[in-house]
Amino acid sequence: MTQEQDEDQVAEAPSAALATLAEKASVNGAASKKRGVCAVSGQEMARKNLIEIGTLRPALVDHIRADFPDLPDHALISLKELARYRTRYVEEILREEHGEYSDLDREVAESIARQETIAENTEDDFEEHRTLGEKLSDHLASFGGSWAFLISFGFVLVVWMAINALMGEAKAFDPYPFILLNLVLSCLAAVQAPIIMMSQKRQESKDRLRSLNDYQVNLKAELEIRHLHEKMDHLVTRQWQRLAEIQQVQLEMLQEAQLPKARAKRRKKPAVKKKRAKPVEALTAPAPDKPEGEN
């Protein structure tokens, strides 16, 4: 029994080794499927970070093939390199349309390449950078342009003039014609005017910041819509080609399926016998025999 067990173990050893090699090969094959090589940078990375060039827009593919003309459609490109080429592509579009490439355009191109949002809340950004004096002047300017200021200011004027009129010229601290009141009003107007101007200047800066952000958002939306149209045209073209190929394959399959039936019908069809032509009868009947008595 010991010798037989040893022989069985010796026989099982090669099979176990082969199974181990097969498992390693399958693992390596699965790992190779999960990784790929970027055709532009030559770096090996995870397959999820790579995209086939054939799935991109034709305009972007032409831009990439301007540097690498021999790239096939099944070649892979990394997301990093794709973002770089997208930025360059948007730069060329903006230069062709606007004739220049500003910092705002650069931010828009980078946001498109990184697929990030560019819309910002300008109110919050402006509020974060305001100083205490700017906040105080804004509050004073907003109060100076309100009904509360007008009503309270009118009430103070009426009370001021009533008190001085009732106290008389001898005891009044500001008798008629209210010179002190005119001085207070002049000082108030002199202080209020610069405060309102400073607030308007900051409001102008806020409006400019909002308009710049709106310009970037509109520019990005325009470019994204253009890219979306290009993608739709590319997808429609590819799907139409695939549908035509599928239709051609279906027609070929139908023709192949009908061939055996046609052959079977030909085999089962009986041979048609040719009819023999009947002899043509004489047009004139044969002459009757003469009787023996006649010469």
> 47 near 38, Cβ under 8 Å?
no
The per-residue pLDDT for 29 is 47
- Residue 39: CB atoms within 10 A of its CB come to 20
Helix axes 179-268, 58-65, angle to 10 degrees: 90
> Hey, what are 209's tokens?
């910041």
What are the phi and psi torsion angles at 50 (to 5°)?
Answer: -120, 150
Closest CA to 50 of 90, 71, 73, 81: 81
Question: Higher pLDDT residue, 226 or 265?
Answer: 226
pLDDT at position 214 over 50:
yes
Amino acid at 79: L
Q: Are β-strands 76-78 and 44-46 bridged in parallel, bridged antiparallel, or unpaired?
A: unpaired
- State pLDDT tens for residues 118-128: 777 777 777 77
**Per-residue confidence (pLDDT) for residue 159, from 0 to 100:** 92
Q: Tokens 């325009």 map to which residue?
A: 222
For the record, the structure tokens of 79 come out as: 């997301």
Average pLDDT in the 241-245 region?
75
What is the rounded distance in angstroms from the CA atom of residue 216 to the CA atom of residue 119? 8
> Please, what is the average pLDDT of the chain?
74
What is the model's pLDDT at position 87? 79
Question: pLDDT-based confidence at 77, cuts 50/70/90?
Answer: confident
Reduced to 3 states (helix: H, G, I; strand: E, B; else coil), residue 10 is helix
- Contact criterion met (CB below 8 Å) for 234 and 58: yes
Around Cβ 178, how many Cβ atoms within 10 Å?
A: 17
Confidence band for 236, pLDDT divided at 50, 70 and 90: confident
| pLDDT the model gives residue 172 | 83
Banded pLDDT at 279 (limits 50, 70, 90): low
Nearest Cα to Cα of residue 128 among 211, 206, 200, 213: 206
| Digit-coded pLDDT (tens) for 36-56 | 888 888 888 888 888 888 778
Least confident of 158-172, 249-263, 273-287: 273-287
Residue with tokens 């993608």: 231
Best mean pLDDT range from 25-39, 44-58, 143-157 = 143-157
Query: 257 or 27: which carries more pLDDT confidence?
Result: 257
The average pLDDT across 232-247 equals 75
Q: Which pLDDT does position 247 carry in this prediction?
A: 77
Kindly report the backbone phi and psi dihedral angles of residue 38, in degrees, each rounded to the nearest multiple of 5, phi listed first. Answer: -75, 130
pLDDT (0 to 100) of residue 20: 55
pTM metric for this prediction: 0.47
Burial of 53 (0-12, 13-18, 19+ CB in 10 A): buried
What is the model's pLDDT at position 66? Answer: 84
* Three-class DSSP category at 286: coil
